[in-house]
């Protein structure tokens, strides 16, 4: 997988990083958006411990 083959999920520029399960550019703003969307480091495990779905999108199904 080449990160450069993907676009930043938030601004559309060429991706240079894959962090918090998101392709992002070097922008601190985009990286912060990815962190918030994921729930920060360990966000999925925090949700699991609370008895919530691991993926926030799954909330809509309930």
pLDDT tens per residue, range 5-59: 999 999 999 999 999 889 999 999 999 999 888 876 676 777 778 887 776 554 4
- Cα separation of 12 and 50, whole Å? 33
Distance of CA 1 to the CA centre of its chain: 17
| DSSP-assigned letter for residue 14 | B
What local confidence, expressed as pLDDT, does residue 54 receive? 72
- Count of C-beta atoms within a 10 Å radius of residue 8: 21
What local confidence, expressed as pLDDT, does residue 21 receive? 85
């Amino acid at each position: 997988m080449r990160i450069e083959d993907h676009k930043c999920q938030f601004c559309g520029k060429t991706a240079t990083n894959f962090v918090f399960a998101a392709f992002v550019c070097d922008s601190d703003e985009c990286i912060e958006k990815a962190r918030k969307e994921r729930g920060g480091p360990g966000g999925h495990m925090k949700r699991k411990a609370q008895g919530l779905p691991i993926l926030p999108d799954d909330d809509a199904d309930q």
